[in-house]
Amino acid sequence: MKSVNKVICIFILSIMFLAFLIFDIIFNKKSDNSVKKVMSPLEFVLDNNKSFIIPEVDSFDSDYTEKNKNLAEKLNITEDEAFILGNFAKYWAKNLVEGRKVQLKNNNLIYYKFGYKTRFNNSAFCLKDNKPTNEYAFNKQLKMIRRGKFVILDLDTDKIYPISKENRHKVKNYIIVRKNHVKNTEEFKPNSVIEPLINNSFPISNYTSGNIKIIVSDLTTKLIPDRNCSSDICKEILNNINSAQKTIDMAIYGYSSTPAVEKAVKEAKARGVKIRLVYDIDSKGLNIYPDTFKFLKLIPDNQNDRNSAEARSTMHNKFYIFDNSTVITGSANLSHTDMSGYNSNSVIVIKSPEVAKFYTQEFEQMYGGKYHNDKNSTSNKQYDNITVYFSPQDKAISNGILPLIKNAKQYIYIPAFVITEKRVTSELIKAKNRGVDIKIIADALNASTKHSKHKELRSSGIHVKAENYAGKMHSKSIIIDDEVVVIGSMNFSNSGEKRNDENIIILKDSKAAKFYKNFFIYQWNKIPDKWLKYTPRAEGQDSIGSCVDGIDNNYDGKTDGEDEACKKLK
């Protein structure tokens, strides 16, 4: 009798649970979507191209509109201030939800269990009945705007304009920044030792010849990252995922959410493509990007370097093998900051079964549980005008890079995230002393660290500019004598050569070298000469856009207005 009652009880509980689920689906209208585009802090375009509007509250527009004019009168502020508030509100919303997976529930966006509407109500930008819902935050934001002397920065021409309706209509691609951020652009002229490009513009982001394509991204024009796969680098990766027929092997440092990539991976799996993944895990079982663990659910055939007998270093590769015939590799992580073009990166696409074989041999070692110094050295990896080096077994700096520097005759141009390797530094100084023109664009944050060699290089007469933009100079490249290009994942450091899993390509191609040289010149000319002598702060007055980009640029745990360097701007 007791067992019968138990069965009945379980049956009733099951029915109640099922009824609850049905009720939740019907009445809460819960579904999974991605925010494709933020039109305003109140209106969003979802991945199904349908609009979603937050009801019952209001905000400023990001343009000069009649609504902004009326709100300005009621709140006793100027139209210009309403325009700035509208743009900041849009930046705030984009950084919060654009490109993210969300659920729609009770007229709200839910992301990571947080309700967007609650966050918006507590922000400086939410209005209800023509009044701020958080008056303290609103007044604080307004005070900052009045103190900050903001301007319109035209991202296409680098010109700045005072805030006004007339000036707004002169530009299409723009961002609102403090005038302090761009005053150096006005005060300092491009370095005369490098020939300026016409109008300082660089419309071409890639070079293609035969089975080779080089793609670069420009940190000087993309001052706010997004999750829309908006860079040519991301689009190239996406196209190859979508066209893969049999296999995709990925070796990535980590992943931050880019919905278009996730969608492409799902569709590739659905059509029968076998996808495998290797990635990095630190000693605490974490990855640099928390979204990596969500990505693993899409690709269950995965391995990480914690499973290796040699697990103390970093799996820092960023390469992809498609159908054993195409390789994409370079400096770009599968992160939204790299995939949107916010950081400067370079990648190379090689359509070659022979080169793909080199990368497959490396991938198989890692997928099989061998990483770092536990890996075996593979055979000579040279095909046509391409030579491949893998760290740490191939000693890429010793065998690949140092001979190139020693043999340079005219120039060496280096866009680099990190230069800390002593022998590289020494050989660059020797090259300078024998008359080689050497110029380096360094990442601002890394140039400020104690291990950076930029001070030693500068003191030896080498021109080193530290970039002064919100994004990172994340490339790990070298261009030499209109003859050679180096592209890869390896920073020019001791750990890059001797401990981490890395790869570099040395390409001997005159046209490719000239293409990359011109891109280097373009970026060099956009960085004021002041930064040949000084090093800008990665977040704050020195770096354009760094206080409105929603990114913790100097990794101190504080973003934009929370950062002391941004608070001090006047």
58, 226, 249, 481: the catalytic one is 481
Tell me how far CA of residue 449 lies from CA of 139, 262, 445, 500, 563, in angstroms: 37, 35, 7, 20, 19
381, 474, 517, 526: the catalytic one is 474
CA dihedral 399, 401, 406, 407 (to 10 degrees): 100
SS3 468: coil
Q: For residue 169, indicate whether it is catalytic.
A: no
Scanning 318-421, the segments in alpha helix (DSSP H) are 336-339, 353-367, 396, 402-407
Q: Which of 202, 497, 187, 184 is nearest to 344 (CA)?
A: 202
Q: Which of 444, 539, 118 is nearest to 109 (CA)?
A: 118
Reading the block at residue 272, the tokens are 């029968």
Q: Which of 237, 234, 233 is nearest to 268 (CA)?
A: 237
Q: For residue 453, indicate whether it is catalytic.
A: no
Cα–Cα–Cα angle for 152, 154, 157, rounded to 5 degrees: 150
381, 476, 517, 526: the catalytic one is 476
- 299 φ, ψ (degrees, to nearest 5): -125, 80
Q: Which residues contact 453 (CB under 8 A, 6 or more apart)?
A: 419, 420, 421, 422, 424, 425
Q: For residue 476, indicate whether it is catalytic.
A: yes
Enumerate the β-bridge partners of residue 247: 274
Residue 151 to residue 545: CA distance in whole angstroms: 12
Q: Are strands 437-442 and 463-466 parallel, antiparallel or unpaired?
A: parallel
CA dihedral 14, 20, 26, 29 (to 10 degrees): -120
> Beta-carbon neighbour count of residue 532 at 10 Å?
15
Reading the block at residue 400, the tokens are 């690949």
Q: Which residues contact 188 (CB under 8 A, 6 or more apart)?
A: 528, 529, 530
> Beta-carbon neighbour count of residue 310 at 10 Å?
14
Burial label for 451, CB within 10 Å (0-12, 13-18, 19+), is: exposed
Would you give the DSSP letter of residue 401? I
Q: Are 297 and 323 in contact (CB under 8 A)?
A: no
> E-assigned strands of 221-273?
247-252
Residue 530 to residue 490: CA distance in whole angstroms: 29
Q: Which residues are catalytic?
A: 474, 476, 481
